[in-house]
Each structure stands twice: as structure tokens, then as C-alpha cells.
């Protein structure tokens, strides 16, 4: 559910799972999904229009349900936001099909939202359906060997205790590369360079270290930790300044869509549409750190086997 461009699907596929059904409402995300997974099982529609009778049986339900309602960079409206209410569609599908495992991914702030009441509702509804709920906040730079600051909550709910007892979250792994290892070394197209930016003089005063990645926030310029990329956001598709930028050998430039995909752990062969670059930035910011999902998926598969 809420398949996006298929980041979660890709992680589970890499762990040996077969995708039997997927749903996404965004037409641009669907185009990217089809380029990489085909069109045989993707249903492009509002989940509210889909009857569970039209969904095939499956073992694992994955859902990166919309996080903007709970994000600390959003409006924090939670279930009062229509996007937050989409979680109840997850419950509807789980109730009718009763999968062996439910896998959910969201922003780390979900745990604290509304003084913890939002998460209490999510956990409580799954428990009412007979599931045991586990959760852990995991950072891409600590669990995926990705040099990106990206904290997310990963919820795994098991229907049967015999499987639950065999599951554990992956251990931390050492970070062996920096963001600059994932950036292309050759000169990029002129549109990515920021020499004529209206804040250029201010940027030059602030950007004193070449081993850091920078970004504009609502409060001005910010710099990441040394060699680490700041969290990639869906807002990259709507605001030029939300795309991280850095010094390359030629000047200061934005991360390209391919570099952003790389920072999320998408393989080089993953196809990005060549049209509507803003949508591609948005899609990648909305997606997941694939290696982190893959490592959790491996452990889920092992627990089920």
C-alpha cells in the first residue's frame, strides 16, 4: 500500500519476496514504478475505492503510509489531516486479509506525535486484530551504510508468536563512506550550479568547509555533519532550496536526481524518468532507504521460514 516508486517493494524483493499487488494514487510515482516493476500488479487508484475482495492473498503487507501529517517539518496535524487518516485503510486491509506480517515505515516523529497518542492508536488497533507489535527507530547512516541523516520508525507486527520469536531487528553496521563518495566527479549540467543564486554572497560567507553538505531551511542556511547528507525531503520537488548542495571541483551545485537516488540506496539500474525532474526529486524524498528495508525484510523472511 502507498507504494510510491517502490522503495519498500525493492527492499523486500531483494530479500527474496515476490510482489503480488501494489497500490499507488500518484500518477507520476506510478510511471516510475512501472518503469522498474512493470504493470502486471500495480493498481493506480485511491485506496478508499479498492475492495479487499479485489486484493489477492499475501503473507506480508507493507505500507509506507503518508508521513506528512506526522512530520516535524510538516504541520503535525496527524489524524486530523486526511493523509493521516489513511492509516485506517491499512487496518481495513489487515482486518479482512489477515497477513502473517505487517511492515510499516514512517517518520520518527510518529512516536512522539500528540504526546504519543497517535502511536498508541496505531499499536492498539493492530493489537486488537491479534498482532504483536515491534518497533525501532533506525537511521540510514547507522543501519544502511548510507551517508544520509535519516531517522525513520520501522514497525513490524506478527500474527503468530512462533514467527515473532525468530525475529530481531538488524544490528548497526559501520558507515564506510561519505556523501562525497556517492557524488559524480565529472562536471554536471549548468542548471545544477548555483553561481547566480540570489543568496550567493551569503552562501560564500557561510560555506567555509568543503567536506560538508548544505541546505536552505526555514531558518536560513544549514550545514550537515562532516561527510553526511541531510535528510532528503519530498519538498525538494517544490522548492529549489530544499535540495542539498555542496562544493564539487567546479563550483557549488545541487545534488542531481541520480545522486539523490543513490543516497537512498537505489541501484544504478533503477530507472528515473527523464521528464518532470521536480516530480523525481519529490518521489525520492518521499521514498525510503532501501538497504535498511532490505535488512529488516531479510530478518522477516527468515522468521517466516
* Rg of the chain taking only CA atoms, in angstroms: 20
Helices (H), the chain: 7-14, 27-37, 87-97, 117-128, 140-143, 161-164, 200-206, 257-263, 277-286, 290-304
E strand map for the chain: 22-24, 42-44, 60-63, 101-107, 132-139, 151-158, 214-217, 220-223, 245-247, 252-254
Q: Whose CA is closest to 109, among 79, 142, 148, 67?
A: 67
Cell of 19: 510482489
Q: Which residue has the cell 548497526?
A: 172
Sequence length of the chain is 305
Q: Which positions are annotated as active-site residues?
A: 67
Determine the Cα–Cα distance for residues 278 and 28; give it in Å rounded to an integer: 10
Determine the Cα–Cα distance for residues 268 and 254; give it in Å rounded to an integer: 19
Q: Whose CA is closest to 291, among 160, 182, 161, 188?
A: 182
What are the b/e assignments for 145-155, b being 16+ CB within 10 Å? bbbbbbebbbb
Helices (H), 107-160: 117-128, 140-143
Amino acid at each position: 500500500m502507498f507504494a510510491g516508486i517502490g522503495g519498500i517493494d525493492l527492499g523486500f524483493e531483494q530479500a527474496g519476496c515476490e510482489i503480488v499487488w501494489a497500490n499507488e494514487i500518484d500518477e507520476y510515482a506510478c510511471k516510475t514504478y512501472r518503469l522498474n516493476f512493470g504493470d502486471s500488479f500495480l493498481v493506480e487508484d485511491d485506496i478508499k475505492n479498492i475492495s479487499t475482495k479485489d486484493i489477492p492473498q499475501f503473507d506480508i503487507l507493507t505500507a509506507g503510509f503518508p508521513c506528512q501529517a506526522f512530520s516535524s517539518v510538516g504541520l503535525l496535524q496527524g489524524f486530523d489531516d486526511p493523509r493521516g487518516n489513511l492509516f485506517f485503510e491499512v487496518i481495513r486491509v489487515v482486518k479482512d486479509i489477515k497477513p502473517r506480517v505487517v511492515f510499516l515505515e514512517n517518520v520518527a516523529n510518529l512516536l512522539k506525535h500528540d504526546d504519543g497518542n497517535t502511536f498508541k492508536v496505531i499499536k492498539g488497533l493492530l493489537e486488537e486484530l491479534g498482532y504483536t507489535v515491534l518497533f525501532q527507530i533506525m537511521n540510514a547512516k547507522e543501519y544502511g551504510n548510507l551517508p544520509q541523516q535519516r531517522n525513520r520508525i520501522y514497525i513490524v507486527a506478527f500474527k503468530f508468536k512462533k514467527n515473532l520469536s525468530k525475529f530481531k531487528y538488524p544490528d548497526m553496521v559501520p558507515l564506510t563512506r561519505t556523501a562525497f563518495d556517492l557524488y559524480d566527479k565529472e562536471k554536471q549540467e549548468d542548471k545544477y550550479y548555483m553561481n547566480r543564486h540570489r543568496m550567493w554572497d551569503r552562501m560564500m560567507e557561510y560555506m567555509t568547509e568543503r567536506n560538508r553538505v548544505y541546505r536552505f531551511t526555514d531558518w536560513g542556511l544549514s550545514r550537515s555533519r562532516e561527510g553526511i547528507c541531510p535528510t532528503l525531503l519530498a519538498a525538494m520537488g517544490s522548492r529549489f532550496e530544499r535540495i542539498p548542495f555542496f562544493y564539487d571541483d567546479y563550483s557549488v551545485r545541487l545534488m542531481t536526481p541520480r545522486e539523490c537516488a543513490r543516497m537512498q540506496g537505489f541501484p544504478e539500474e533503477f530507472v528515473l524518468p527523464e521528464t518532470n525532474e521536480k516530480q523525481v526529486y519529490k518521489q525520492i524524498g518521499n521514498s525510503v532507504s532501501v538497504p535498511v528495508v532490505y535488512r529488516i525484510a531479510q530478518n522477516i523472511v527468515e522468521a517466516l521460514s
